[in-house]
Amino acid sequence: MIAIADQNYFTPEEYLKLEEQSSTKHEYIDGYIYAMAGALDPHVTVAGNLFALLRSHVRGSGCRVYIADMKARIEALNRFYYPDVMVTCDQRDKETPAYKRFPCLIVEVLSDSTEAFDRGDKFADYQVLESLQEYVLINTKRQRVECFRRNDEGLWVLQSYIAENKSFRLNSVNFEETIASLYEDVVFES
């Protein structure tokens, strides 16, 4: 996300209308829009791999997997974000084709320009979503998956997976896969 906001204030309805016609994606934070930066090959490859694996896993379950171009709406905070991968199993999300309000899983693939925001304010914002069970951060510099899970007390508990673990698990959608499959075709910078 580019840190410079357009100077005009937009209502959520104005933002959604603008976004339908824009060739550039924007995130929306309390009336202001922020242009999103492009992504590098490792980022796109990891997100694509996870989408393909999850899509195959949830087929026929009533859950839907979205990648990059679907917005998550946090109405209580007046926010719209574009998660890299998002899963919703809530039937109410069929009512809103431009965004989803009830995701159970949100995944952000980390990049240098967004990592601090993804770990900080964005994660804090996502925690407001009562439906959200897991928030996952995927590293593109080394094989590392960080799963933050909401426990029965409402606290977020971290479980990290690295290459030596061989596999990772997403409890929110009862999914387990190898780290190697997630990082297939990813070339790490030396």
pLDDT tens-digit series, residues 120-155 = 999 999 999 999 999 999 999 999 999 999 999 999
Domain annotation covers residue 155: yes
1 falls within a domain: no
Instruction: Over range 51-67, report the average pLDDT.
Output: 97
- Domains contained in the chain, number: 1
The secondary structure element, H or E, covering residue 54 is helix 41-58
**Segment 100-123 mean pLDDT:** 96
Query: What pLDDT does 76 receive?
Result: 97
Rounded mean pLDDT, 33-46: 92
- Judge whether 46 lies within some domain: yes
In three-state secondary structure terms, 157 is: strand
Domain extent at residue 144: 39-182
